[in-house]
Amino acid sequence: MKTIDTGFGSLLREWRQHRRMSQLHLALDAGISQRHLSFVESGRSQPSRDMVLHLTECLDVPLRQRNRMLLAAGYAPSFSERPIDDPALKPAMDAVQLVLDGHAPNPAIAIDRHWRMVAANGAIAPLLAGVRDAELMKPPVNVLRLSLHPDGLASSIVNFSAWRAHVLERLRHLNDQVADPALAALERELAAYPVPHGAPKPRPRETDAIAVPLRLRLGTEDLSFITTTTVFGTPLDVTLSELAIESFFPADAATAAYLQKMAQGRS
């Protein structure tokens, strides 16, 4: 039988292996025979457009990569990828800004797939006062680079070693989901940054801790935050699917009082 070399089969196999699924497992999830799946992966069978979308849905492939796999199978992309300022995305971006502004006096930012800041509320500015290298603040600002860079916020983070371990672990987990070479490069870059002199070594997590906090020293104040991540449900646009909101919440009463005081000063 003639092999149909479209590249889709190899991409499908890569994502199946990335998800640590056997052919049998994926075939059962997709409701097809393992033999059929084997033929698709080897290029001996050409999948329909619907089958490509079905298999990528079963593997939870990111929308950006689903478009790539559709092209590899000989089909047009299904998911748009609009610029962040496209009029079609305005309702979503208005919703993002509404969430950011509504989170005040607590800080909140919106980030893209590479952790570049695309929007923020006014409460974030005071937290960045300790950044020494102005180049790190030039758009697009990469918030992970900003937090761990020696001339960024590193020297202001009281629990730097614990926060660094948390950031790198989170970045590894994210890249395990999306398999993005740019995120892998960012992880290597951040891991190579030196630990500030005098930073305490990571300690075993306290049994009563609810989350890894970001403890930030601003002047004489020690602030402590926990964070949440918000994403859009069921997006059909690549850009929108890769947008997230990072919201910072005070982890203690002193931090909450400080944020309220700062907000009153800005009003």
Residue range 101-152, pLDDT digits in tens: 999 999 999 999 999 999 999 999 989 988 999 999 999 999 999 999 999 9
Q: Helix-strand-coil percent breakdown of the chain, rounded to 5?
A: 50, 15, 35
* pLDDT value at 3 more than 70: no
Say what the pLDDT of residue 101 is: 96
- Domain co-membership, 25 together with 141: no
User: Domain count of the chain?
Assistant: 2
Last residue of a domain, which of 43, 72, 101?
72
pTM of the model: 0.87
Alpha helices in the chain (DSSP H): 8-18, 23-30, 34-42, 49-58, 63-72, 90-103, 143-148, 160-178, 181-192, 238-241, 253-266
- Domain co-membership, 192 together with 218: yes
Return the CATH number at 159.
3.30.450
User: 111: domain range?
Assistant: 87-266
Interatomic CA distance for residues 54 and 38, integer angstroms = 16
- Domain co-membership, 127 together with 240: yes
Residue range 184-241, pLDDT digits in tens: 999 999 999 998 766 655 555 554 567 889 999 998 899 999 999 999 998 999 999 9
Assign 84 to helix, strand or coil. Answer: coil
Are 115 and 261 in contact by the 8 Å Cβ rule? The answer is: no
